[in-house]
Amino acid sequence: MKNYIPTNPEIWTGRTSDKELYLHEKVRHINLKEDGLSKFTDQTFAILGYVCDEGVKRNQGRIGASEGPDAIRKQLAKMPNHLSDDTALFEMGNIQCINANMEAAQSSLAETVSRLLELNTFPILLGGGHDIAYGHFNGIKNQLASRSKNKTIGIVNFDAHFDLRSNKSGNNSGTPFYQIAQDLSAENTKLKYLCLGIRKDANIKSLFDTAKNLNVGVIENKNFNLHHLANIKIKLERFIKEADYLCTTIDLDGFSSAYAPGVSAPSPMGFSPEIVMECLEIIRDSEKMISLDIAEMNPTYDIDDQTAKLAASLIHFVLHQ
């Protein structure tokens, strides 16, 4: 797997203790090319980076997301460890994009996600552009196909954008869910997709038409806040009930730039961390979520590591639920 590189352990640093009080002391570094791994029996989280912003470049966005995974790691490393002794946290390295071949990187990501799921880990993927979602979903789909049939994978996307653009002119960070829909259609399977935080000022009319034609669940940003939590909960729980497994993806550009300035497409009109955390709690409590990705972290435009800290805090929240 030529796209794979291990993570530099020096990225995982912070305050030191003799009791694993911080996550950098808890994490164990794995080289997937060298370390022989067998299936884990205890709860295990596996962090994997997707070092690629080729999709963002193709989508005419601000490049820099390839540096996102390490920026998130640096903030996560310093955070306190509340995990139990029998819960493992593994740093699995990065899938990188070589020679602008995003499709090869997505394929390697899918292969690695499948392997991590086979090992009975919970993959946490760090992006990178939102094209991470295509490799992420295919990794889940391929693994589930080998262990069970006729299981429904529901996609929950926290995002300002549908990312349902046609890929007739090529794949990019705005096409992953359209690609998934096309792949599933070829297999006589329908897309099951819920998008939370959609903004009308961030999607052209035809994308709303595409979403409607694909029966995509939508909660617009104007209704995606704590004031509407009861209705959000009803819609989210209904969606979860109809899925066997959940693939969860968080595009950081869905947040208001007050919280996330370091993204490829910032806007002050986005949602807040509180509503996302409320929804993540519902998703985790369902015990159907088997993986998570966080996309579009762009440290080039971050302010005081604010966006990286937000991403790290969301991961910390999921780890410790």
Range 243-279 burial, b when 16+ CB lie within 10 A, else e = bebbbbbbbbbbbbbebbbbbbbbbeebbebebbebb
Is 85 one of the annotated binding-site residues? Answer: no
The single-letter DSSP state of residue 223 is G
Query: For residue 212, what are the contacts with CB-CB under 8 A and spacing of at least 6?
Result: none
Reduced to 3 states (helix: H, G, I; strand: E, B; else coil), residue 156 is strand
Measure the CA–CA gap between 94 and 44, rounded to whole angstroms.
Answer: 18
What's the first-to-final CA gap in the chain, in angstroms?
A: 33
Is 251 one of the annotated binding-site residues? Answer: yes
Before 174, cis peptide (omega within 30)? no
Is 70 one of the annotated binding-site residues? Answer: no
Q: What are phi and psi of 31, to 5 degrees?
A: -105, 110
Q: CA distances (Å), 139 to each of 113, 144, 256, in order?
A: 5, 9, 30
Helix then strand then coil, % of the chain, to nearest 5: 40, 20, 40
263 in Cβ contact with 230 (< 8 Å):
no
Is 253 one of the annotated binding-site residues? Answer: yes
Is 53 one of the annotated binding-site residues? Answer: no
Please, what is the Cα angle at 289 between 284 and 291, to 5 degrees?
Answer: 115
Write out the binding residues for Mn(2+).
130, 159, 161, 163, 251, 253
Which residues participate in the annotated binding site? 130, 159, 161, 163, 251, 253
